[in-house]
Structure 1
Amino acid sequence: MDTYQRGFVWSEEQVSILHDELVAYAHAPTPDVPYYMGTLLLHECAEKRKRFIIDGQQRMTALCLLYQQVVGCFPAGQDLRYSRSSAGAISAALRLLKTTPSSIKPSIFGKIHFTVIIVSDVDMAFSFFDTQNSRGVRLETTDLLKAFHLRAIAQCSGSRPQESQKSLIHGLQDHCAKRWEIMQKETEKRPDGQKDGVDFAPRLFELFLWRARRWQANKRPLPDQARLLDEFQRQTWPAEQGPDTVPLYQSRTNIRARSLALSEQGGMILHGNQITLGMDVEQLPFSLRQPIQQGVGFFLYADKYAKLYQNIFVDQSDRYTYFRRILDELILKNQKYIIEIFQLASLMYVDQFGEESLDEFALRLEFLFGEIRLSHDRIAKETAQKFFSDLQGDELNLLDVITQASHPRQVNIYLKSQAKSCRETYRQDQTPTGSTVKGRYKKAVLKFFGKETTSLAEKEAWVEAEIEKLHAER
């Protein structure tokens, strides 16, 4: 370990997760499939005749400690060195492993694979190091989830003959890996300020799937790597009906189907009523807060909501023409944290009700967000997050209301009831239209509703008139 690398900081929980994953891998029905642990970045120093770990030191250290526990000594050629600050974490990990029953055999270490990148220039080493540490947590979390669930496909037993089972598993793994890569890339052109070519997976899981599942009542926990891995890895359910089959749960989008089967080519069939879905993942009868099945279930779940996001916010579809006008002309003139929670709430709404009364929902929600813009010179992340608890009544937040509603009218009545808390801000509006953030937003509102006035005092009436016109056009 060179001077620029940090010491060993993994918690006992992280070491325990690695141990449990290796135990599960050891008992997989197809143990010939390698256990992939990501990328190792190494700096080869000609002067010192050594290779220093740039990225991957935490994983390598944990593996060495586990090796020592299983074999009784450290791996041959191991020359990892640490500062005193690492001693506590290493001692804690060793104590944990000594008290943890394990069925791991030494042969398993020969099946662990890494992708190794070696750089010879120290400046390049620092460049890699800085890049990994500035963005590595976001990317590494979703990479770990992808690797875990690809392995989970192989760890699921089935009733097919062994050779047929292996062929199915390899086909499913290949298909799910391709699905994931397409999901990462297909949302490149986004209207939310994200640059083209940025991996969409971290954004999907942190800003939308995590929040949709974990922001309940007055609780809004922020995701970190440990929490994301717990929610989308440790808390997922093992596949029990075969590697290609995912159980389904009754919901508004699923009344009769009991399970769903994925073919190696990507075709999907609903079991129970034998409806073929083809390859359109948007039709999958999933819900955002449902249990997630390991392996195929995880990839289909992520794929559905990436595709739903794409259809709502990116594609120029006729299905969302008026909604996209609200998004483009009003929401995108607001602040990025407001945009994120508008997208989150809209994603949950469409997941529950489709396009039914979506335009009314967007208008009423935008009215509430506009009050935040007019009453705050600066909108911090916490300001946007507090939106959910600031609504009247703390037993349910807006996301809970959407999830638990049986009809979109319930959600829109709820939003309308919240408008009274915004009226005073609009009535007192004296914001000059101009170059300030508030002024630009006000100008966008007046243009959207076609008003020549200098005040937003009557905005609530404009919203209601617009909703009446939408209802009349149906």
Structure 2
Amino acid sequence: MTDSEQDAFQFFDSQNSRGKALKPHDLLKSYHLREMVRDPEQLKIRLISDWEDMDQNALKDLFRNYLYPVIRWVKNRDGLHYSSDKIQYFKGIKQSNTFNYSIYHKASNIFIEQFNTSGSSELLSSGELNQFQLTQPIIAGKRFFAWTLHYSVLLEQVKSKIDDFHTKKEVPGKRTGDIYIKQLYEATLLFYADRFGFETIDESVMHQLYTWCYSLRLRMKAIYPQTINKYAIGQHDRINLGKDLFSIMSEMNDPQELKSIFLESVEESDLQSSSYKAIYELMKQWNGW
């Protein structure tokens, strides 16, 4: 750890001056640190240290394969090719922004922080209020770091939920296409948990989201990032055309609405590989195909 804020920034910036291009998440770190003009030096130094202690590959994966695609798919837009050129989606509302919409979001964050630290949740016998939503803007500065940690933890909870609920045969991960499908499944659960709460993920939710994701695997012999992207925004004509699930979920007011989404059935003759026969049989049993 450095002894001063200036030393900390010099250490950080020197990585780029040595010819090593900074990763998108590190550029975001730098941006949000510079937005912390009213925060104490020690807080900035601690955030730099905490950030450097995190698994950098996991951070890269979090933004590239989950957060960026989801916030784009929710708006029915392309979620591919996350890079340093697209970090503006995570810069959020600047501290200097005083327009009506920004004041509303800033006030919401301040209220929740004060509520959670005041002991009010204990008094009301409730848990802490959730401060973040993927469909809402980030407040630039220190809250970006809390936001990133929040979704890092939530993603790990989702992955653990999948591991506990499914056998390895139900979520294969050896082939590249299988990995893409599994990431899509994790992303759908991440967004569902973000909107309605992790505790609302029950068996019926797992069945519905799994069916939506793995129906694509059954119908397609090869899966590429472009395949996933097209399917996520409801534009894949092989199955569930128009079922842009992220956008649909973003407009739901109650998790029970998920059950009303009609998904196309898959016939055994549709299978592109016998390797997925067990997955087909599982989905057939769940959905009464």
TM tier relative to shorter chain:
0.7 to 0.9
Cα deviation per residue 1:222-247 (whole Å; 9 max; x = unaligned)?
A: 2221112x1122x4332789xxxx93
Aligned match for 1:146, one of 29, 34, 43? 29
The CA deviation at 1:283 is 5.8
Question: Is 1:428 paired with 2:251?
Answer: no
Question: Is 1:441 paired with 2:276?
Answer: yes
- Counterpart residue identity of residue 149, structure 1: H
Q: Work out the CA distance in 1 between the residues paired with 2:132 and 2:153.
A: 13
Pairing of 1:95-174 with structure 2 (within 5 A): 136=21, 140-153=23-36, 155-156=37-38, 169-174=40-45
Q: Work out the CA distance in 1 between the residues paired with 2:117 and 2:50.
A: 17
- Counterpart residue identity of residue 51, structure 2: W
| 1:177 alignment partner in structure 2 | 48
- Counterpart residue identity of residue 205, structure 1: F
The CA deviation at 1:344 is 0.9
- Counterpart residue identity of residue 439, structure 1: S
| 1:373 alignment partner in structure 2 | 217
| 1:463 alignment partner in structure 2 | 286
| 2:60 alignment partner in structure 1 | 202
Q: Check the 8 A contact 1:180/1:303 in 2, yes or no.
A: no
The CA deviation at 1:35 is 4.9
Aligned match for 2:248, one of 375, 390, 401? 401
The CA deviation at 1:357 is 4.5
| 1:258 alignment partner in structure 2 | 111
Q: Work out the CA distance in 1 between the residues paired with 2:167 and 2:30.
A: 35
Aligned match for 1:226, one of 57, 80, 85? 85
Please list every run of 5 or more consecutive structure 2 residues that lacks an aligned counterpart in the other structure: 99-104
- CA change 1:218–1:146 in 2 (3 A) is closer
SS at match of 1:332: coil
Taking only aligned residues, the RMSD between alpha carbons, in angstroms, comes to 3.7
Q: Work out the CA distance in 1 between the residues paired with 2:167 and 2:248.
A: 22
Which TM-score applies when normalising by structure 1? 0.48
Q: Check the 8 A contact 1:236/1:293 in 2, yes or no.
A: yes
Q: Check the 8 A contact 2:78/2:229 in 1, yes or no.
A: yes
SS at match of 2:14: strand
Q: Which structure: greater helix fraction?
A: 2
Aligned match for 1:341, one of 184, 190, 206? 184
Cα deviation per residue 1:160-213 (whole Å; 9 max; x = unaligned)?
A: xxxxxxxx612321332344245x33xxxxxxxxxxxx6211111122111222
Structure number with greater CO (CA < 8 Å, separation at least 6) is 2
- CA change 1:303–1:34 in 2 (3 A) is closer
Q: Work out the CA distance in 2 between the residues paired with 1:374 and 1:275.
A: 46
Q: Work out the CA distance in 2 between the residues paired with 1:289 and 1:407.
A: 16
The CA deviation at 1:327 is 6.8
| 1:238 alignment partner in structure 2 | 95
Q: Check the 8 A contact 1:145/1:232 in 2, yes or no.
A: yes
Which TM-score applies when normalising by structure 2? 0.75
- CA change 1:176–1:393 in 2 (3 A) is same
Q: Check the 8 A contact 2:172/2:178 in 1, yes or no.
A: yes
Q: Work out the CA distance in 2 between the residues paired with 1:344 and 1:350.
A: 10
- CA change 1:373–1:177 in 2 (3 A) is same
The CA deviation at 1:259 is 4.3
Q: Check the 8 A contact 1:215/1:399 in 2, yes or no.
A: yes
Q: Which structure: greater strand fraction?
A: 1
Q: Check the 8 A contact 1:282/1:305 in 2, yes or no.
A: no
Cα deviation per residue 1:255-292 (whole Å; 9 max; x = unaligned)?
A: xx724269xxxxx626xx8548xxxx996421112111
Give the share of equivalent positions with the same residue, in percent: 19
Question: Is 1:301 paired with 2:172?
Answer: no
Question: Is 1:39 paired with 2:17?
Answer: no
Q: Look at both structures and tell me which one has the larger radius of gyration over its CA atoms.
A: 1
